[in-house]
Amino acid sequence: MTLDNLPDALSPSLPSSGSLANPKALPSADELVDLLEERIGAGELSPGSKLASERELAIEYGVSRPVVREALRSLQERGIIEIRPSRGAFVRAAKSFDVASKVGSFARQRGATARDLIQVRGMLEELSARLAAERAGDADVARLRILVDAMDDTRDVLDRARCDIAFHSLIARISGNPVIEIMFSSIAPLVFEQMIRSLDDQAVAKEGAPLHRVVLEAIEAGDADGAGNAMFKHVMLAEDLYGEDLEYPLESVARRKVNGILGGSVRLEDIIEDVLRSI
């Protein structure tokens, strides 16, 4: 009988490495998750690399294969690994969508309002636009122009919101500051919810929409002050124009707008997920 054919129940008794040979130190499934996640986070297991087999992990950590399977399932649910049938488990490259989903979920649980978001966006996106004006190349400007033109050419609120979030996300990327890009990506679900509210309001859209082109032209001209000031004005408009919606949870406001536009035929969660994956 080979090691591969040993029953699961015998796995804990196989020789294990290091201090884990002591039965009292054997990790639980949750502890094994932490150990593997730590190795992945430290770069020992890089994105795309294959994890050891269930049998090898059971031997290494002195646990049963069911414990290993449970730990791997948890890692997959967290988006840390990807389990491919008949091939094994692979480290999954982190994506901004992962962060956005978690932050968006937490913010909704805390009842984040439009005012909460605007305060953060004002500071973050003003700096983002300033840096973009200093660093944008011709190709960057061309892509921004395509998005602004698309926003002007469509009257569909959700299509405009898709172009709008892509425009702001691209400016964050053009800024050249990875922390700004990560921070904006993390709040993108909330920003998109706010955009639905803004673009379905004629008063807000009338004042806010033209500022996209002002920001674009300032970035094209390399005018950091002009880009930053226009972006700050654009983001902060809602404080004067939202009325009572300023203090309501963003999710409830956006859900009301989506239901009014589509009559409940599409879920807000599905729209946001589709948009975030596309950007």
Structure confidence at residue 12 (pLDDT): 45
**Given pLDDT bands bounded at 50, 70 and 90, which one contains residue 101?**
low
The rounded distance, in Å, linking the Cα atoms of 266 and 259 is 8
Tokens of 183: 């921070």
CA 162 to chain centre: 15
Q: Per-residue pLDDT for 267 more than 60?
A: yes
* Contact between 253 and 197 (Cβ < 8 Å): yes
Complete domains list, the chain, with CATH: 3-91 (1.10.10.10), 97-278 (1.20.120.530)
Determine which of 23-37, 109-123, 144-158, 172-186 has the lowest per-residue pLDDT on average.
23-37
Strand pairing class (81-84; 88-91): antiparallel
Q: Per-residue pLDDT for 264 more than 80?
A: no
Structure confidence at residue 126 (pLDDT): 98
Burial (CB count <10 Å: 0-12, 13-18, 19+), residue 22: exposed
Q: Per-residue pLDDT for 104 more than 80?
A: no
For CA atoms 159, 194, 262, 111, give the dihedral sign.
Answer: positive
Beta bridge partners, 81, equal 91
What does the pLDDT look like over 46-80, one tens digit per residue? 888 899 999 999 999 999 999 999 999 998 887 78
Per-residue pLDDT, averaged over 12-34, amounts to 61
pTM as predicted: 0.67
**Radius of gyration from C-alpha coordinates of the chain:** 24
**Given pLDDT bands bounded at 50, 70 and 90, which one contains residue 11?**
very low
Q: Per-residue pLDDT for 219 more than 90?
A: yes
**Start-to-end C-alpha separation, the chain:** 52
What does the pLDDT look like over 116-126, one tens digit per residue? 999 999 999 99
